[in-house]
Chain A
């Protein structure tokens, strides 16, 4: 399967935007990706092996978190996984509060 790597993580995939891996499930594909590029592990997973909250993984057009079998979902050779960090923010304050920066 092909795994699409987002811009900020390409520093850990030898600048590759896509990585081809073998695997029959989403988890197997991610494991193969991390095996090939070990520095990715801490960026994708928490210490207990779960995907970090801000890391989204899509199997084609489906969020893996919402698939019936989640990471155990079956993957065909022509499927694509896409890793996409979340993008969010905002002032985050009420009108009466001051802006908080560090």
Chain B
């Protein structure tokens, strides 16, 4: 299983983390789930509602997520994952990320942003079907040149 994403979308989510530094950015990956992994066709920036602790927390409001999902369906896409940044922290999921992860089958992309510059981007697939058996599995990011679904 790999995350298939275009170079431009990959760069865009990394730039987003630089723009919001020292706060966390967040956004949604749209596309299609296929047998070989999730294929990203577009990314959508989202607002971080955790203004009280934006340096180490993110939350996307459900209503914003619903609006993103509505627009995605009009274009024939589904939500296949999410991304956020870790300002001055590794590109590794945290205990908070794990506890708050409920989108089984989706990909969680994390970019470490050190001193305002994006460094490493990792992808983690949320496997399992329940809160008891869920797990994050490191997923290879496959950069595509054309549309994500053509990879």
Residues of A bordering B, CB below 8 Å = 4, 6-8, 11, 17, 42-43, 54-56, 58, 61, 63, 82, 84-95, 99-102
Contact = CB atoms under 8 A, between A and B. Distances in A.
B105 A8 contact: yes
A102 B98 CA distance: 9
Given A7-B103, A99-B92, A90 B58 contact: yes
A7 B102 CA distance: 11
Interface string B78-111: 1110101011111011111111111111101000
B86 A87 contact: no
B95 A54 contact: no
B57 A92 contact: yes
Contacts, number: 116
Contacts of B58: 88-90
Given A42-B130, A95-B88, 11 more contacts: A7-B103, A43-B130, A54-B102, A82-B66, A88-B100, A91-B24, A91-B86, A94-B56, A101-B92, A101-B95, A102-B95
A86 B62 contact: yes
Interface string B3-28: 00000000000000000000010100
Contacts of B92: 99, 101
B65 interface: yes
A87 B94 contact: no
Contacts of A6: 69, 79, 103
Nearest to A60: B66
Contacts of A55: 102
A87 B95 contact: no
A4 B53 CA distance: 31
B33 interface: yes
A89 B129 CA distance: 19
A90 to B, nearest CB: 4
Please list the 4 inter-chain residue pairs (A to B) with the smallest Cβ-Cβ separation, ordered nearest first. Answer: A92-B96, A89-B97, A90-B57, A88-B59
